[in-house]
Structure 1
Amino acid sequence: MSAATKAMDQGGYHCAITVKVKEGKVAELDEALVQFIRRSLNFPGTTGVHLIRPVPGSGDHEYGILRSFQSEEHSRKFYASELFQQYKAETEHLVEGEAVTRPLHGLEAFFRGGNNPPPRWKMAIVTWLAVFPVVVLWSRLAGPYLTMLHPLVVTGVVVSLVVITLAWLVMPWLTNLLSPWLNKN
């Protein structure tokens, strides 16, 4: 396993799911989701679930579900499991179409290690601790080789290197390292 893959696995795997509910079926789906979430928390590799309900009286019929797993492999096993297939069969008459699932890869995923997200000031400190040295590093390493390019191109190249380094190495490693502090009440 590469260092980048290890770093990503240490930060876990997170996905956002949206489910559109059929008219008049919100209460029934809500109950089914709550029951399913309770059962699913014991599935191997599951590290958390957050349910985002539609605002009462808004006319919105869309639920949001944030699921966290130890790794992408745990996520794949969960969605292929009999438990999940049974939930889908039990609720297909309550939803419109298929649920939309998208992995969370950005900064929003890095701070999802505990039961509650850490305070914003802690997230800001960790982000600064990650961004500052990486910007300095890539500016110093790549900058001298890019002097013949337009300053906007140089900035674009450096920012691209910074984002790649943050997303695949530094943020997963740093949030894992600092998770006891981040998740401390």
Structure 2
Amino acid sequence: MSEAVVRVVRRRAKAGCEEAYEAMVRAMFRQASQFPGYVAAQLIPPAIAGGEYQLIQRFATEQDLERWNSSAERATWHERLRAVAVGDPEYRLLSGLDAWFGPELIPATAHPPKWRMTIVSWMGIFPTVALLLWFISPLLSNLPFLIRTAIFTAMVAVAMSYLVMPRLSRWMSWWLRQ
């Protein structure tokens, strides 16, 4: 099963080149949007003057991101951006909790408080574990404790990552963003 890829790119614009940097990044996004598997991109300006810009890029699959990464178009944009940017960009792929609560819900510079993320996580974990205990636990009762625990926790992890948290974090985004 293939899942969407979210990449955060951090980079500073040269002093006095902020407008040119933003215009080039937006033009690069427009060109990237023509690539298969491109989902969306967002430019988040720095919180303070001279700070780092964050670019959030979403692709349908890792292969789609790789297609963009290895393209001549991307290479051209990176060469053009050198004139208005400081240094090389820093990249980070999001996964796990970062992806659940990450840029799709809120800007990467303002994550929700951990206590809110904990409550939303519990709202997903409790019913998932309760249902699996009710239906699956009896089927595993004859297995040794460690094997039973490994199977059960793997089922919880898969259900949380692929079914529960993507939906729950979208449904609760209004509260997470407060």
**TM-score of the superposed pair, with normalisation by structure 2:** 0.65
User: 8 Å contact 1:14–1:66 — kept in the other structure?
Assistant: yes
Distance in 1 (CA, whole Å) between partners of 2:73 and 2:156 is: 37
1:51 Cα deviation (Å)? Answer: 1.0
1:127 aligns with 2:118: no
1:86 equivalent in structure 2: 76
The change in CA–CA distance for 1:69 and 1:112 in structure 2 (over 3 A counts) is farther
User: 8 Å contact 1:111–1:175 — kept in the other structure?
Assistant: no
What is the RMSD of the two structures over their aligned residues, measured on CA atoms?
A: 3.8
Between 1 and 2, higher relative CO (CA 8 Å, sep ≥ 6) is seen in 1
1:30 equivalent in structure 2: 22
User: 8 Å contact 1:53–1:63 — kept in the other structure?
Assistant: yes
Unaligned runs of 5+ in 2: 107-111
Unaligned runs of 5+ in 1: 1-5, 147-156
Distance in 2 (CA, whole Å) between partners of 1:173 and 1:117 is: 17
The change in CA–CA distance for 1:132 and 1:52 in structure 2 (over 3 A counts) is same
1:80 Cα deviation (Å)? Answer: 0.8
1:44 aligns with 2:36: yes
Percent of aligned positions that are identical: 21
1:21 Cα deviation (Å)? Answer: 1.6
2:99 equivalent in structure 1: 109
1:18 aligns with 2:10: yes
Task: Kindly report structure 1 stretches of 4+ aligned residues shifted beyond 6 Å.
Answer: 123-126
Task: State the number of aligned residues.
Answer: 152
Distance in 1 (CA, whole Å) between partners of 2:90 and 2:72 is: 19
